[in-house]
Structure 1
Amino acid sequence: MPPAYVRPYVKRQKNDATDAEAICEAVTRPNMRFVPTKTVEQQSCLMLHRARHLFIRQQTAVINSIRAYLAEFGIVAPVGRRGVEQLLEVVADTADRRLPEVGRACLAALGSQLRALKAQILEFDRRIIAWHRSNATSKRLDAIPGVGPALATALVASIADPEAFRSGRDFSAWVGLVPKQNSSGGKDKLGSISKQGDRYLRSLFTAGALAVIRYAKIHGTQHRPWLTALLARRPTKVAAIALANKLARMAWAMMARNEGYKEPAALAA
């Protein structure tokens, strides 16, 4: 059971006895939700994703530090990978007198750390792709436009039992891609997305939806006329959330029913 759902049954102070009493009370509730147990393989794959995400955050922090330290000496470069490479070239150039020796040594250490992080991220990418190729469900999910090996493997590793969700909407709500409700008195009031649930999965779904939208703006979208109409009247990021919601529902349906991806045109036919 999620600890947040047990907490309301705790009386007064927290100790082992009151915790056990609260757990016994919560487990008898007819609508209590339970967390399915993941396999060792799923836990290992999630560890790959979490470690990779940690190294990506560290890589961003190191890059920002290099840019900030060099900016103090008046050395700046364009945004992007090429800009960072230009800054590291300045650090490696001992003939450049704009940097003192102590500062150059510190920045050289940061450059070495950045290269090590990049190499480790690439190694994690290779391991994730290898896990993806060895898993049949992950390969089926990869057929969905906007779902790549990273999202496919994260889905398979995060969802121990797809049938724990009654519908695709329940799964989308679990990811946090549905509107937040503040309804009362028979009046429905919906706001922005709830952002509850797995933040990592939600970010992958959103990134995949943005990739589909970028492709649609350049090449057009033959099988999704609703997306073209939505982009015509709403901002890109709003359309991306709507598309991410649909991607989540499609992914759940494929996992729960053990089916392959079908193009919308094939469904209409």
Structure 2
Amino acid sequence: MSIHRLGIDLAKNVFELCGMDRNGKVVLRNALRRDQLMEFFAQLPPCQIAMESCGGAHHWARFFQASGHEVRLIAPQFVAPYRKISKNDANDAEAICEASGRPTMRFVAIKSTEQQAMLALHRAQELAKFHLTALGNQVRGLLAEFGVVIPQGPAQLRKALQHPIDLETLPPIARNLFRDLFDQRRELTDRLAQYDQQIAELSKADAQIQRLMTIPGVGPVTATAVVATVDNARIFKNGRQFSAWIGLVPKQKSSGGKSRLLGITERGDIYLRTLLVQGATTVVHHLGAKEDGRSRWIRAIMERRGKYKAVVALAARMACTIWALMTREENYRVLTNDHPVGHR
């Protein structure tokens, strides 16, 4: 039995395997428990291993690479068309194996432990923001029940809580409750400040992150998120492909030789897309009377298509610029009478 390609359907406890030879004939079907998996691959000659890019995939990919295998990670949506019949673990493993052999298949880059640690910090920061927002809404709603009305928005809530709120007229249970909620909010605020400090320290220690931060609208959070997600931008052919991977290019619905472009695809990494749109919004908001090439370009789009489409267009261009700086290893600079460097 000669296994050329092996598809693995990952799970918590039981892993389904499907192996094919060079002709694409299935030569192995097996289900292994987690403790059996390492022993199996220790005895397996080097081959091509494919998995869906899901939870735990990058950990196993690093392990298989260290064992001498060629590893390919595939986005789940690219595997689904190769599943011939009903969905189960065995059919999923065969579909993964089949998809990995297609010459036009696109694969996911394997992340290092450092990249995953940086992304974990971002996820924890977003979770703390979510909890802080939910807590603020809860405090505002409960205070309104006792006649204390605070305007909407986190800034208004911070401003209101800076001044002591008179709780003495409330029942004892309500006073204790609000003091506890205020303490929770302070703890979450302190935790967010710690996360921001950690991200700032990470940005100072990496030359590539510092390079990306020279782009207007890209700060430490966006720069570290990009580097943690895409360590090697050369896996993309050009900046347009990188922008499409983030989901910032128009959807196309063309037929009969007629091209029809719709709204953006919104595919790919929603977190990166959100950060780029937020950064672009800040740049457009502070556009003022700037007369460099980029500012004139933004202003022209705003006049033709409106502010919001200009924001999305700028976010897409920022993605192209990020790709250019990462591949060329140079800092961002704006020429007065020309387009910004890297916007191609």
- Give the TM-score, by structure 1 length: 0.92
- What's the CA shift for 1:266? 7.9
SS of the residue aligned with 1:265? coil
Match of 2:85 in 1: 12
Match of 1:194 in 2: 265
Matching of residues 90-169 of structure 1 within 5 Å: 93-95=166-168, 97=169, 99-169=170-240
Q: Which has the higher strand share?
A: 2
Match of 1:41 in 2: 114
In 2, the alpha carbon distance for the partners of 1:260 and 1:84 equals 39
1:222 lines up with 2:302 in the alignment: no
In structure 2, relative to structure 1, the CA distance for the partners of 1:204 and 1:89 (3 Å cut) is closer
Structure 2, unaligned runs of 5 or more: 1-73
Measured against aligned partners, the alpha-carbon deviations of 1:140-173 in whole angstroms (never above 9, x if no partner) come to 0100111111111111111032111111111101
> Contact (CA 8 Å) 2:293, 2:338: kept in 1 or not?
no
RMSD: 2.0
Within the candidate set 182, 185, 190, 2:256 is matched to 185
- What's the CA shift for 1:8? 1.5
Q: Which moved more, 1:232-241 or 1:136-145?
A: 232-241
Match of 1:247 in 2: 318
In 1, the alpha carbon distance for the partners of 2:160 and 2:172 equals 16
SS of the residue aligned with 2:263? strand
Question: How many residues of Structure 1 are paired with residues of Structure 2 in the alignment?
Answer: 266
> Contact (CA 8 Å) 2:292, 2:334: kept in 1 or not?
no
In 2, the alpha carbon distance for the partners of 1:149 and 1:52 equals 13
Match of 2:75 in 1: 2
Q: Which moved more, 1:33-42 or 1:136-145?
A: 33-42
- What's the CA shift for 1:100? 2.4
Q: Which moved more, 1:79-88 or 1:25-34?
A: 79-88
Measured against aligned partners, the alpha-carbon deviations of 1:120-140 in whole angstroms (never above 9, x if no partner) come to 110000000100000110000
Amino acid corresponding to residue 39 of structure 1 in structure 2: S
Q: Which moved more, 1:129-138 or 1:76-85?
A: 76-85
> Contact (CA 8 Å) 1:131, 1:153: kept in 2 or not?
yes
- What's the CA shift for 1:210? 1.1
In 2, the alpha carbon distance for the partners of 1:87 and 1:259 equals 46
Match of 2:280 in 1: 209
- What's the CA shift for 1:81? 4.4
Measured against aligned partners, the alpha-carbon deviations of 1:178-230 in whole angstroms (never above 9, x if no partner) come to 1111222221111111111111111111111111111213x424232111222
Structure 1, unaligned runs of 5 or more: none
Within the candidate set 61, 75, 85, 2:148 is matched to 75
Match of 2:243 in 1: 172
Measured against aligned partners, the alpha-carbon deviations of 1:4-31 in whole angstroms (never above 9, x if no partner) come to 2112211222333222211121011111
In 1, the alpha carbon distance for the partners of 2:236 and 2:159 equals 50
> Contact (CA 8 Å) 1:177, 1:241: kept in 2 or not?
yes
Amino acid corresponding to residue 182 of structure 1 in structure 2: K
> Contact (CA 8 Å) 2:133, 2:154: kept in 1 or not?
no
In structure 2, relative to structure 1, the CA distance for the partners of 1:106 and 1:162 (3 Å cut) is same
> Higher RCO, 1 or 2 (CA under 8 Å, sep at least 6)?
1
In 2, the alpha carbon distance for the partners of 1:94 and 1:104 equals 6
Mark the structure with the bigger radius of gyration: 2
- What's the CA shift for 1:86? 5.6
Q: Which has the higher helix share?
A: 1
> Contact (CA 8 Å) 1:91, 1:104: kept in 2 or not?
no
- What's the CA shift for 1:105? 2.1
In 1, the alpha carbon distance for the partners of 2:156 and 2:203 equals 33
In 2, the alpha carbon distance for the partners of 1:20 and 1:134 equals 41
Within the candidate set 114, 120, 129, 1:56 is matched to 129
Q: Which moved more, 1:9-18 or 1:76-85?
A: 76-85
In 2, the alpha carbon distance for the partners of 1:106 and 1:127 equals 32
